[in-house]
Amino acid sequence: MRPITRGPYKEGTGDSAQGGGQVLTINMAVLLAVIVVVRLRRRTEARSRVDEKLTVVIVLLLGLLLAPTDLGQGILNAAGKMVEQVAQIKL
């Protein structure tokens, strides 16, 4: 993931036109997780269909960003074990 820079940044020099070479890095997974939490805190009655669809798209993007990480793989393994255990239950 490439960092988002403030101002013109000269690659490889550690210098920017504003001086100091400040780089603002945003982890997209964290940003999307915050957006999802904020959106889901709203009351259900206050959401439109378009609003709900947008929330679904954001959650899917969050899942795609988490999937290749160690956290994503751990969640996948835990979910897989849980599904196996539920499948073994005989009613």
- Give the three-class secondary structure for 78: helix
Domain ranges of the chain: 4-88
Q: Are 36 and 73 in contact (CB under 8 A)?
A: no
Given this model, what pLDDT does residue 24 score? 63
The reported pLDDT for the residue numbered 81 is 92
* Average pLDDT in the chain: 76
Instruction: Considering only residues 9 and 68, tell me which one the structure prediction assigns the higher pLDDT.
Output: 68
Q: Is the pTM of this model over 0.75?
A: no
Give the model confidence (pLDDT) of 1-19 as tens digits.
Answer: 555 544 444 455 554 455 5
